[in-house]
Amino acid sequence: MGTTSKPLSITNLCGGINDADPPLTIADTQVVAATNIDYYEGGLGRKRGGAATVPVTFSGGGGPFGGEILSLVRHIPGSDDTAAELWAFDESGKIGRRASAATWVDITPTDAMASTVGRWVRGASFNGKLFLAYDSAQNRLHCWDGTTLRRVGLATPAAPTGDDSGSGSYAATIRYYKVAYTQVVSGTIVRRSELSPVLTKTPSGSGTGITITKPAAITEGETHWEVYASADNLVFYYLASTAVGTSTYVDSADPTAYSAGAVEPVVNSNLPPPSAKYIITDGNRLIMAGCWETSGGYVSPKSSRVWWTPVTGTLDIGDDERIPLGNYIDLGETDGTYITGLAVWSNAVWVFKTRSLWKLIPTGIVTSPYSAIRVSAHVGAVSHESIVRAVDGTGADALFFISEIGPMRLSTCCPTAIGHTVSKTWRTQLASSVAFFPYVHGVYHESKNQVWWWVPNGGVTPRVLWVLSLPLSSPTGQMAWSKFTGNITAADCSVFAGPVGTTPSTSMVPLIGQNSDHGLLWALDTGTQDITTNYQGTLTTKPYAAGGIQYHFGLAEGQLVARASSGTTITVSTVQDFGVETRRSQVSLSAEGSETSVVRKLEGMDGASCTVVQFTIGDEEASASAWTLDALVVPIHVEESR
């Protein structure tokens, strides 16, 4: 006759997957498998939410999208989150903007995207504009200013021309001219080009002045052109600003009077930013890195260079659209790697390369605002989209990213590996996906305090969706892993956003772009199905040696505690001695009255002569059910020694 012992009470499995440690050493709070469940609710977990199609209808005759949506960007044009816009970029180069709840608007850029690179469009909302880093035929950054998707800054004009004006005795004294193009809005200059090459001109002596004719239009939204003059070709002074509709300006001043005007802008202070690959903002300036082009433009492109704009308000003339010469830093140019991403966190700019990590520390010096230190010579990020800013288990801001050796968390001093408990699976997956590292992307699911990463698994299309739960209530910052499967793993891009025009704190969810199967754009963690497809949620516990290995033990019929869920059936499988015998019990979670939780007896799961036992709990097969499990309690009685 066995001796009844304390029941096996499983009430906390929020430690997530552990596939790395020997089975019997796994912590009681961990499981060996968790598929399509997370730890937002329930002591044992809850089945993940489903997906819903987001409409992709265009208004005004624009659209449709011409293929897979490869990039998504959320843009806040001001300080009101409810005015957020959603931007989508597809493989055909189509750009869609959704600033209303119902339809998309077709956006035609000044410079079209290069073919199929909609996969890598990065955006930053700053100063009311959406700055976009994408590949085009121009070595220029682009931005949406609320009306036009155009090149950032203004191109340098050609030199003006000059001729005698009128008939008189204007002195035949040599003088020099330059011009600049500007954009003026409501009487304020918002953009200015670099000054043109110089025009050297000596009047004939028989005119009344010099007629300066503006050079050819640069056609970049310029509204005015400015004339600067010099008596010595060393210092130029402002003479006048004229609307571009007027092509000439007559200078009849004595060159000695030029100095009454304002001194010309500092040379190379209005250079348009390059066609960077990555762009972020710290709230005061734009920061860019990498390059799509190898030549052209006004700023030399380099794959290991970081640029920045002046702090907004420095000149109040296009500060967010200019790169003064010298506003850059090169990081590890000869180390054989290139920049893969950027982030702003912990009062610093973090620059990720393929196998190194740099920290740009603010100096407070206007002419040299950052000091660079290399934090790691071995660990970097596989992609910009894998870098996710979140709130960790202590409630503090944290930075997470995927490296070539697995998932990492960045502390103020160095990166720390956080994937030990899933390292076995990660090693296998990453080893087969080296060529596809640039396709890793992720989001912070703020309302659930989870980081979601889509990681290729041997190709671009096969992916595993890894979910890292970061419970705010854990004083130790306990993190828990689970895996999601199903159609949602085919995502080509992701963004955390919500229906436009709504309050973000209550409506935002992960959005994904993918191919045309069931729709190009999905909202996740909604409903109970992936559009029209069911999926299966299960977890498998660690093996429990209830008799301490040296004793056999027996099981009585246990009890499952769960949230009430109408029409939902849960299967609990008892796996004895690593698969020697398996017994199944099914229970309904439907409420019998108005109760919110149910306790169900697991009939037929009793057994004897066990050395270890583990449990698989969840859907018997793919279903549209939703469930949250709180506890599994199984009476145990110790039997004879082994």
- What pLDDT score was predicted for residue 503? 61
In this predicted structure, the answer to whether residue 185 has a pLDDT above a threshold of 50 is yes
Q: How confident is the model at residue 92 (pLDDT cuts 50, 70, 90)?
A: confident
Farthest-apart Cα atoms in the chain, separation:
127
382-397: per-residue pLDDT in tens?
Answer: 999 999 999 876 778 8
Of residues 489 and 532, more confidence is placed in 489
**H or E element, residue 289:** strand 286-289
Q: How confident is the model at residue 606 (pLDDT cuts 50, 70, 90)?
A: confident
Return the minimum-mean-pLDDT range out of 189-193, 412-416, 556-560.
412-416
In this predicted structure, the answer to whether residue 251 has a pLDDT above a threshold of 60 is yes
Which of these, 565, 581, 562, lies nearest to 573 by C-alpha position?
A: 581
Cα separation of 535 and 417, whole Å?
31
What is the C-alpha end-to-end distance of the chain, expressed in Å?
A: 15
In this predicted structure, the answer to whether residue 495 has a pLDDT above a threshold of 90 is yes
Residues 6+ apart with CB under 8 A from 378: 355, 356
List, in sequence order, every residue forming a beta bridge with 588; answer none if it has no partner.
569
In this predicted structure, the answer to whether residue 4 has a pLDDT above a threshold of 60 is no
Cα separation of 366 and 286, whole Å?
15
502-558: per-residue pLDDT in tens?
Answer: 666 667 899 999 876 667 899 999 888 888 899 999 999 999 998 888 889 999 999
Cα separation of 442 and 493, whole Å?
8
Tell me the mean pLDDT in the region 220-249: 98
Which of these, 110, 155, 158, lies nearest to 137 by C-alpha position?
A: 110
- What pLDDT score was predicted for residue 504? 62
- What pLDDT score was predicted for residue 517? 64
Cα separation of 558 and 324, whole Å?
71
- What pLDDT score was predicted for residue 96? 93
The full set of domain ranges for the chain reads 3-48+537-641, 161-260
- What pLDDT score was predicted for residue 434? 80
Cβ atoms 540, 498 nearer than 8 A: no
In this predicted structure, the answer to whether residue 297 has a pLDDT above a threshold of 80 is yes
Tell me the mean pLDDT in the region 449-466: 88
Cα separation of 544 and 551, whole Å?
12
Tell me the mean pLDDT in the region 420-443: 87
- What pLDDT score was predicted for residue 536? 97
- What pLDDT score was predicted for residue 82? 83
Please tell me which of 244-253, 297-306, 314-323 the model is most confident about, judged by mean pLDDT: 244-253
In this predicted structure, the answer to whether residue 475 has a pLDDT above a threshold of 70 is no
Average pLDDT, the chain: 91
Cβ atoms 168, 208 nearer than 8 A: yes
Cβ atoms 187, 156 nearer than 8 A: no
In this predicted structure, the answer to whether residue 349 has a pLDDT above a threshold of 90 is yes
426-436: per-residue pLDDT in tens?
Answer: 888 877 788 88
- What pLDDT score was predicted for residue 102? 73
Return the minimum-mean-pLDDT range out of 7-11, 270-274, 344-348, 431-435.
431-435
Structure tokens at 58: 């265009």
103-132: per-residue pLDDT in tens?
Answer: 899 999 999 998 666 678 999 999 999 999
22-44: per-residue pLDDT in tens?
Answer: 999 999 999 999 999 999 999 99
Does domain 3-48+537-641 fall into CATH 2.60.120? yes
Amino acid at 7: P
In this predicted structure, the answer to whether residue 499 has a pLDDT above a threshold of 80 is no
Tell me the mean pLDDT in the region 41-62: 89
Does the CA dihedral 40-41-45-46 come out positive or negative?
Answer: negative
Going across the sheet that includes 105-106, the strands are 69-75, 85-90, 95-98, 105-106
- What pLDDT score was predicted for residue 80? 85
| % of the chain surpassing 90 pLDDT | 73
Which of these, 26, 31, 90, 33, lies nearest to 464 by C-alpha position?
A: 33
- What pLDDT score was predicted for residue 548? 85
CA angle 119, 124, 129 (to 5 degrees): 120
Amino acid at 470: L
Helix (H, G, I), strand (E, B) or coil at 547: coil
